[in-house]
Amino acid sequence: MKYGYFNYDPVGPSVFFYLDDNGQPKETHYNIADVNNLIEAISASIECSHIDHVLCNAAGLGLADAINQNLSTQFNHHTCVFEINDK
């Protein structure tokens, strides 16, 4: 299981973080105002980094269904489990 972290901020930059296959941290800040474009960008990041489990803030969890829908339609099969990061 490979984890990522998504912090959605509707006003400022949203952050997607994960560790690559070599254990190196990878962090991307998204300054995308259009939610649909952000969903596409996050979906691509999840697919490219082979993430199957995403910890996120409450706002990010609100986008989980849309992200999974995009993963399903754009990448044919990939879905992710999303849950609140309570730590």
24-66 residue pLDDT tens: 999 999 999 999 999 999 999 999 999 999 999 999 999 999 9
**Does residue 87 carry a pLDDT above 80?**
no
Tell me what pLDDT residue 15 has: 97
Specify whether the CB–CB gap between 43 and 75 falls below 8 A: yes
Q: Is the whole-model pTM more than 0.85? A: yes
More confident: 87 or 36: 36
* Residue 20 · residue 31 · CB < 8 Å: no
Q: What is the pLDDT of residue 35?
A: 96
Torsion-angle region of 2 (φ positive above 0: left; ψ -120 to 50: alpha; else: beta): beta
SS3 content of the chain, % helix, strand, coil (to 5): 35, 30, 35
| Structure confidence by residue, pLDDT tens digits, 2-12 | 999 999 999 98
